[in-house]
Amino acid sequence: MKPGTLEWIRCAEEDFAIANLAFKSRTRKPTASAIGFHCQQCVEKYLKACLEEAGAHIPKIHSLSALLSLVLPAHPLWAAFNPSLLMLTNYAIKFRYPGHTATRADARAALKACRSVRAEIRASLGLSRK
């Protein structure tokens, strides 16, 4: 695996760990919006890891659907993730600004989507689904 790919994976795993720890936190309750943001970041970085590994250009964008469109030629079945990716993209844009607040149920849904997409991408990269 390319060193750049491993770096994207390392960064994605940091976001995944933060999202999970925040969701399970019993002392300080991070906002559901922050949990969703780290889920979105995890998936964004995993999609960029796929692009890096393929030697493709990595655009500086946060739209998960746009990133997905770039990896679909190699992974056409991932089109099924688009509804989840649209939801997660909101955490990079909509929920990062005043006026929009995510709920605990939103955070749970974001984690579920993140876990599912993460597992599939990890498997495609030859990593465990852990």
Q: What is the pLDDT of residue 46?
A: 98
Q: Give the C-alpha distances (Å, rounded to integers) separating 77 from 45, 82, 120.
A: 19, 10, 10
What is the model's pTM? 0.94
32 vs 26, residue with greater confidence: 32
pLDDT tens digits, one per residue of 62-96 = 999 999 999 999 999 999 999 999 999 999 888 87
Question: What is the C-alpha separation between 38 and 56, in angstroms, rounded?
Answer: 24
The distance from CA 76 to its chain's CA centroid, rounded to whole angstroms, is 18
- Residues 81, 59 contacting (CB under 8 angstroms): no
Q: How far apart are the first and last CA of the chain?
A: 18
Q: What structural domains and CATH numbers belong to the chain?
A: 3-124 (1.20.120.330)
pLDDT tens digits, one per residue of 3-22 = 999 999 999 999 999 999 99
